[in-house]
Structure 1
């Protein structure tokens, strides 16, 4: 089994690579090669039980894509993307990466005529506008940002290329992943990790929305577990629409902070500064949170039991030593 992770330098890509390297098998077969590619060379995975390689790839460039996807690749994880706020600010770059990059990967797979499994990470940003709550599996997509639009088009491409037999695709609309390690990025949702991560690391953080702001969350650990399960689903179980919500849970900002306090004590919450930021609020207020992921739950994917678990996972997996 030869696996390629495009976006292998990111938080989810790195965690997925480590899980697969430890697991050693996928879809009932031994992993014989695992390659992580990104726009810059991803960090290596030390002490892996399977051969792991790293390389660079620019998915906006068809030649670069052709150079990293060979005929021997069995499973492609397509995680690479320009994040939400950046895609909103830089219209051309957002479409170059999030739309044309996705198309370049699918076109390369079609040219190879090997029908690899393609696991595509979409986003709950595909929902919005005048769609009534709750959002169900068959609610229509109505994105209110360029990022959401690019992801929605990618979903339709994945389903169509799967219908034609060019790929065996499955796409998952990710909840906001929290608590993410590392530094804040340009995603509009970045504060949903930083208001927890930085205080847990003894640093001040800024919350740009009110404490009653509700959203749909999943931990990084559970996300990569679901991506592994998603790759192993039978095509017949996916039906005619290859894309679905990934399970998550709805919590308010206050509930996130209370969960952090329950796990780590009262001191971290005192490092949060409340500072309303209208541009961030404008973007995130268009996102929907009352999602009912019945299809993916029936297929065996799962959400975190509590946000206390999300906090514990960060402390166990990601908080810097000391």
Structure 2
């Protein structure tokens, strides 16, 4: 089978492409299939070229999903699996409404329309977010809570979920939308996501740098590790469509931890010198966004479908340190 990954040059995208390229088969819609080719699409050309050079079955498709030529190539290739990760992150979508709408919503519409021209409906995995939810005072909710986003990013992701559901109903795709927890600890540089601090307050101190803390220590976060995000993505590809029924959106499990507990874990694992590099830097804009996100989400349906969270936040810190070649105190 042929696979399309959009946003392939991003952090999760590179992980997904690399994991797919390293295996010969993947369970798709309940059946094990052989992987013949992976089409990696992104606007960043250099990372795509590196992926293609590193993996013989990976083919670079540089360009925007707004480009008719790119969409025509996708329809012509007719992938049996589409993993749609391309997105503008939360803080950037809030600051630039037009950009967020173009990338987070219009590209999803365009990609679904490209799928409509294929001979068979592909399995379509859409990357959504728990930012579709809002609640008072960082409360606990369940996966059945009605979404009510308080950010442009969350609103755009919710509209994408609804499009995936309706396109599945119409028989254009076999859709499944994944509401990812906040991912921590992400490697690399900080990005413009409102939740970027959830990785920064661990990653930067471990790298010998100071890290600003824009929120209070009592804020709770619903988290998953990068490895768990990859696991969730590949598991979603394998789900039999009949197991989803009409509810094509899955709110993924996460671990619940306060910012204070995250910092205490860093201190315990890496020592005082590292933990003391985190400094308070209140940011009202970021706080307003993340304080409206649920601190805990109860997810029995996702667990019944086979999705399980990380064991503990300590593991997330230790995994990042191992990946970076760092020793524990």
Coarse TM-score class (shorter-chain normalised)? over 0.9
> Alignment partner for residue 37 of structure 1, among 38, 41, 49?
41
Deviating more after overlay: 100-109 vs 20-29:
20-29
Distance 1:276 1:131, change over 3 A: closer
Distance 1:319 1:18, change over 3 A: farther
- Displacement, 1:200? 0.9
Q: Given the alignment of the two structures, is residue 262 of structure 1 paired with residue 268 of structure 2, yes or no?
A: yes
Matched position secondary structure for 1:291: strand
Find the aligned partners of 1:222 and 1:318 in 2 and give their Cα distance. 18
CA RMSD of aligned residues (A): 2.1
Find the aligned partners of 1:88 and 1:169 in 2 and give their Cα distance. 27
In structure 2, what is the equivalent of residue 97 of structure 1?
103
* Structure 1 residues 60-113: Cα deviation after superposition (integer angstroms, max 9, x where no partner): 334432334434311110001111111111111111111111111111101224
Tell whether the 8 Å contact from 1:249 to 1:304 is kept in structure 2 after alignment.
yes
> Alignment partner for residue 282 of structure 1, among 268, 288, 298?
288
Q: Given the alignment of the two structures, is residue 192 of structure 1 paired with residue 198 of structure 2, yes or no?
A: yes
Structure 1 length normalisation: TM-score? 0.94
* Structure 1 residues 22-44: Cα deviation after superposition (integer angstroms, max 9, x where no partner): 23211211211112211112343
In structure 2, what is the equivalent of residue 234 of structure 1?
240
In structure 2, what is the equivalent of residue 54 of structure 1?
60
Find the aligned partners of 1:9 and 1:176 in 2 and give their Cα distance. 19
Find the aligned partners of 1:119 and 1:275 in 2 and give their Cα distance. 37
In structure 2, what is the equivalent of residue 299 of structure 1?
305
Find the aligned partners of 1:132 and 1:304 in 2 and give their Cα distance. 21
Matched position secondary structure for 1:8: coil
In structure 2, what is the equivalent of residue 140 of structure 1?
146
In structure 1, what is the equivalent of residue 155 of structure 2?
149
In structure 2, what is the equivalent of residue 112 of structure 1?
118
Q: Given the alignment of the two structures, is residue 180 of structure 1 paired with residue 186 of structure 2, yes or no?
A: yes
In structure 1, what is the equivalent of residue 26 of structure 2?
26
In structure 2, what is the equivalent of residue 253 of structure 1?
259
Distance 1:319 1:179, change over 3 A: farther
Counting matched residue pairs gives 321
Distance 1:175 1:113, change over 3 A: same
Tell whether the 8 Å contact from 2:138 to 2:292 is kept in structure 1 after alignment.
no
In structure 1, what is the equivalent of residue 131 of structure 2?
125
Distance 1:60 1:289, change over 3 A: farther
Find the aligned partners of 1:167 and 1:83 in 2 and give their Cα distance. 25
- Displacement, 1:133? 5.5
Matched position secondary structure for 1:217: strand
Q: Given the alignment of the two structures, is residue 202 of structure 1 paired with residue 227 of structure 2, yes or no?
A: no
* Structure 1 residues 174-210: Cα deviation after superposition (integer angstroms, max 9, x where no partner): 1100000111111111111111101111111101111
Distance 1:239 1:32, change over 3 A: same
Find the aligned partners of 1:237 and 1:112 in 2 and give their Cα distance. 24
Find the aligned partners of 2:93 and 2:324 in 1 and give their Cα distance. 27
- Displacement, 1:291? 0.7
Tell whether the 8 Å contact from 1:171 to 1:243 is kept in structure 2 after alignment.
yes
Unmatched 5+ stretches in structure 1: none
Tell whether the 8 Å contact from 1:262 to 1:308 is kept in structure 2 after alignment.
no
In structure 2, what is the equivalent of residue 272 of structure 1?
278
Find the aligned partners of 2:263 and 2:24 in 1 and give their Cα distance. 37
